[in-house]
Amino acid sequence: MSAHSIPGYTYGTDAVPPAPIALGEFQQMAQVALFGEEDVRYLRMAHEVLKDQVEEILDVWYGFVGSVPHLLYYFTRTSDGQPDETYLSRVRQRFGRWILDTTRAEYDQAWLDYQFEIGRRHHREKKNQTDGVDAPEIVPFRYMIPLIYPIVATIRPFLAKGGHDSETVEKMHQAWTKSVILQLTLWSYPYVREGDF
């Protein structure tokens, strides 16, 4: 599926407001996370390994969310409490594209802008608006950081399927981990009091 056909995927378009921090400030964050050019290289290597496994990865992640009622709740209709299958499907398509965007490792202004858009879509500032759904208005912050672990831990077996030696797999996994931590930090922006980010 091409990026242009994914509902609500607005990466790189005028629909995405500018990031509230400068690219240089993100680069300082990356430095704190020990994320550098080697990590970019290994993420791009991971792209080649993961690009044909996206649906299998999403099956694992969606299986996890679907098995945890208090996570699935944020994809339910407030009218009847049932999962909104259209909403789940659209988010899944964007989540798949996120895997590819993460491993493309193009940390430019368009990428930075879109990270803040993703954060808004988890927060009451913009949740539900992209897909026009009637679901709970926010994914509470208490779940945002803990979700890093399943996203990081479950990717390793997929990285190992590329035929690389264990050291290379470890380097791809470390690069993925650092990138996910940095992105979740950016997504947290709407949850932080103004002036404290």
Query: What pLDDT score was predicted for residue 2?
Result: 67
Mean pLDDT along residues 20-28: 97
The CATH number that applies at residue 111 is: 1.10.490.10
Give the tens place of pLDDT for each residue, 163-173: 999 999 999 99
From the list 48, 56, 60, 71, the residue with the least C-alpha distance to 142 is 71
**pLDDT, tens digit (0-9, with 9 covering 90-100), for 108-151:** 999 999 999 999 999 999 999 999 999 999 999 999 999 999 99
- Domain presence at residue 39: yes
pLDDT for res 3 = 73
Q: State how far the alpha carbon of 99 is from the alpha carbons of 84, 89, 95, in Å.
A: 23, 16, 7
End-to-end CA distance of the chain: 35
Supply the range of the domain harboring residue 121.
20-191
In a domain, 125, yes or no: yes
DSSP per-residue string spanning 74-135? GGB-TTT--B-HHHHHHHHHHHHHHHHHHHHT--SHHHHHHHHHHHHHHSTTTTTTTTT---
Instruction: Identify whether the C-beta of residue 127 lies closer than 8 Å to the C-beta of residue 135.
Output: yes
> Is there a domain that residue 13 lies in?
no
Q: Does residue 170 form part of some domain? A: yes
User: Per the structure block, which two tokens stand in for 23?
Assistant: 């690219």
Encode pLDDT of 60-116 as tens digits. Answer: 999 999 999 999 999 999 999 999 999 999 999 999 999 999 999 999 999 999 999
In a domain, 64, yes or no: yes
pLDDT at 1 over 70: no
Q: In this structure, is residue 15 part of a structural domain? A: no
158 and 53 in contact (C-beta within 8 Å)? Answer: yes
- Answer yes or no: is 51 within a domain: yes
Would 196 be classed as within a structural domain?
no
Residues in the chain: 197
Are the CB atoms for 99 and 6 separated by under 8 Å? no
> What span, in angstroms and rounded, lies between the C-alpha atoms of 141 and 193?
13
Q: Are 8 and 67 in contact (CB under 8 A)?
A: no
pLDDT at residue 47 above 60?
Answer: yes
Q: Domains in the chain: how many in total? A: 1
Query: What local confidence, expressed as pLDDT, does residue 4 receive?
Result: 75
Task: Assign 48 a pLDDT band (cuts: 50, 70, 90).
Answer: very high
